Structure 1
């Protein structure tokens, strides 16, 4: 492999070249670190860069190969880790000034598994504070910018992760998703991001919103995401919600094609709306799958009511509890992002929640989502109602009354239900900003999602922004 092209290569290609001794893991890492040095000042994607540790990990991979030992399926692949995920000995600040000096004492299970697979952790990517906004800024790290247009947000809360992958600063980024935080920035940045079924990838230490939290990859390619999922999925006793069932063969799904697959296209879920340019690109991509052998049909909106109130209670209610612990005084509260304070205060203003009503809404949302998959094998929707917002804007114009996440109408329901979901880029708006198509599967439907994403990838190869 030519070093001059290594930043354009997939994770699978890099690992294969390193394992064949065509290139060293150290040379790969130095090449990516050079690119990070060049681009990071423009996009501000790293909360913490761990260059020396990454080079040491790369050297270890090379040493194993020299001794005829296999470092693993991600040998020498640079990976960033979102700053909500623990990496032992590295600052884990959650994008918050309140936790600026916090250092993780343990690796998260997914990070342990990346290490065992030969990946090299290059640093911690930026996040909105406590993962609480769908755009990319935090009080601690400032504004992260979108490589397609630096005056636009990359989305959030996995802002740095998606921006790094889009800018080819890393081939793989490990991210989290509690209401769309993998899919939102993947859509805004024109990359592929997937959250598997709830519990497929263990989450530990516990998230601030444990009933909604997922860990998953953002990548340049569907195959890379399947490869990373194969590495990080599986039971871990530290996370009681992690699944005991065997990990599916995600890579095998990529070769199955779409013949006989029933795909439902749904332009709205029963509330909210998407811009015309978004709808046009997503609908066109959906119907194109007929030529790949799928049976495509348009579905009626599945939800009678917006599940936002139930999601907000589980998400901002729990984050509010975390903030009460971290910032008990008014002076400490002033250090918190204003949009986060507002969302928590709005929830508190409603008084004691009607828990029975919210539980009924969650159950209704679950039942209606399940009913969709009695008719189709995969559900397609827009990932987002809009393309990337200007930096500094928390809620899209025309969507007043929504908070800093629940304007993302299409993503958060599938955190409530735990269904696997992904975003794949399918076009651009008139300003050249990416548009994402959301792909949702039944509970054990990661394979179906990957099949569909692989087919879309053949029709719409992932583009890269021109960075000069």
Structure 2
């Protein structure tokens, strides 16, 4: 089948799956569309590092022949994905965003990669990440600083920077990311994509991480239903992850099509008295009012007396990553991002009693959060209190706390708390700033209520869809 250039648009995952099944498109069409978009925009946005164009085209031709013969390897047959360069990919370089890892080629796939392949997906390339995923900004010595498709002068957020850029810029139908303090939700919010951090252990992670009690794996997509389909495929236990949860007892995608039951919604305009940009506050407030009018929900505005668990998060993050990576990289410190090198140096200030105290504080904070869901079904708040800042920065200019060991945590006070607690938390677009930047609304559910979070987000998406909006650079 000859490729029609008019067909070289980027479908969503569900559109691609349906189109390949009914013959309206082929895996070759979708891969060609991805490579065309990468060629046009990657040099500006720095979404991808390694791109496997020849291999992907060869696989696409084979999968096209199979689909035309009525043979399908799985629900993702022939659909190309971007893979965050923290995930181990057998035979494919995994730099982890570090100059110290330029020659690192794993021999084994991570469970999430194996499941993606088994479902018929094509790995198109590795997407940019900050060094070892250490920061919520999008700076990178390996890939070049990630740039926001809505304004390339600004950050995309991180650490799953390239994965969010690739989805928002229509380079791939979807991508994989990871989240240890907000790393799918931060770039999701800044780039106008949907990103769910499932309950801790929902999607298995491997290799082992020194911050395993904070770290989640998951997709970044354009729509809620795409994410639900991928959670159906990627969830479930794996012997490589001792924290992995049992297999889901229902389809997340099917749940998105069920009528929404009456829900008790707690709405927090802010947490920890953090100032929120008025533009963000206004957009989130308008979205919540829209929900209250159109959905079967009772919204209660909350002012929570929780104490900011920043010191707990910082101890777990710095103590875990700093000690683990510091031992391995002691002779390569000059190759590291200065911020990450500083984190390693500061890890020497932490001791075992302090670390164990943070573990205890984590449990106490989690108890508070879990208790809230006795009275509420879901919790809503802005994903972030700020709009994107310079792509070359790690924090907004003049933002308090830039001299800390984890400077990015100072401007992400609404994301990392739910890594501490392990709750499912999604960021979905809810509006735009006057300058055209996306704004994210965060939806947090009780532990294990991933299906309810997805169902609610799908109901809001039907009420106020966002995928029809395109960054200006894609329309020029």
TM-score by length of 2: 0.93
In terms of mean alpha carbon deviation, does 260-269 or 408-417 score higher? 260-269
Per the alignment, residue 55 of structure 1 pairs with 57
Deviations along 1:233-283, one digit per CA (max 9) or x if unpaired, are: 111011111112435310122123334111111122225332111111112
In terms of mean alpha carbon deviation, does 316-325 or 143-152 score higher? 316-325
Per the alignment, residue 394 of structure 2 pairs with 394
User: Closer, same or farther in 2 for the Cα pair 1:12/1:302, shift >3 Å?
Assistant: farther
**Contact 1:233/1:247 (CA < 8 Å) preserved in 2?**
no
**Contact 1:229/1:250 (CA < 8 Å) preserved in 2?**
yes
1:464 aligns with 2:470: yes
Please, what is the CA RMSD of the aligned residues? Answer: 1.8
**Contact 2:215/2:419 (CA < 8 Å) preserved in 1?**
yes
Per the alignment, residue 322 of structure 2 pairs with 320
Shift of 1:12: 0.6
User: Closer, same or farther in 2 for the Cα pair 1:248/1:348, shift >3 Å?
Assistant: farther
Give the unaligned 5+ runs of structure 2.
none
In terms of mean alpha carbon deviation, does 254-263 or 280-289 score higher? 254-263
In terms of mean alpha carbon deviation, does 353-362 or 47-56 score higher? 353-362
Per the alignment, residue 285 of structure 2 pairs with 283
Taking the aligned partners of 1:63 and 1:177, their CA distance within structure 2 comes to: 37
Per the alignment, residue 27 of structure 2 pairs with 25
Superposed counterparts of 1:291-302, under 5 Å: 291-301=294-304
Secondary structure in 2 aligned to 1:7?
Answer: coil
Per the alignment, residue 405 of structure 1 pairs with 408
Per the alignment, residue 441 of structure 2 pairs with 437
Shift of 1:288: 1.4
Shift of 1:3: 5.8
Superposed counterparts of 1:24-173, under 5 Å: 24-173=26-175
Deviations along 1:353-386, one digit per CA (max 9) or x if unpaired, are: 5245323321221011101211111111111111
Secondary structure in 2 aligned to 1:374?
Answer: coil
Taking the aligned partners of 1:16 and 1:396, their CA distance within structure 2 comes to: 42
Per the alignment, residue 452 of structure 1 pairs with 456
Taking the aligned partners of 2:187 and 2:156, their CA distance within structure 1 comes to: 5
Taking the aligned partners of 1:109 and 1:327, their CA distance within structure 2 comes to: 26
User: Closer, same or farther in 2 for the Cα pair 1:259/1:240, shift >3 Å?
Assistant: closer
**Contact 1:302/1:368 (CA < 8 Å) preserved in 2?**
no
**Contact 2:284/2:381 (CA < 8 Å) preserved in 1?**
yes
In terms of mean alpha carbon deviation, does 159-168 or 309-318 score higher? 309-318
**Contact 1:378/1:440 (CA < 8 Å) preserved in 2?**
yes
**Contact 1:7/1:170 (CA < 8 Å) preserved in 2?**
no
Taking the aligned partners of 1:81 and 1:366, their CA distance within structure 2 comes to: 31
Give the unaligned 5+ runs of structure 1.
none
User: Closer, same or farther in 2 for the Cα pair 1:117/1:2, shift >3 Å?
Assistant: farther
Deviations along 1:154-176, one digit per CA (max 9) or x if unpaired, are: 00000000011110001101000
**Contact 2:316/2:358 (CA < 8 Å) preserved in 1?**
no
**Contact 2:10/2:30 (CA < 8 Å) preserved in 1?**
no
Secondary structure in 1 aligned to 2:151?
Answer: coil
**Contact 2:319/2:355 (CA < 8 Å) preserved in 1?**
no
**Contact 1:422/1:439 (CA < 8 Å) preserved in 2?**
yes
Shift of 1:34: 1.2
Shift of 1:434: 1.1
In terms of mean alpha carbon deviation, does 392-401 or 29-38 score higher? 392-401
Taking the aligned partners of 1:456 and 1:3, their CA distance within structure 2 comes to: 34
Aligned residues: 465
Taking the aligned partners of 2:108 and 2:54, their CA distance within structure 1 comes to: 19
Taking the aligned partners of 1:388 and 1:79, their CA distance within structure 2 comes to: 25
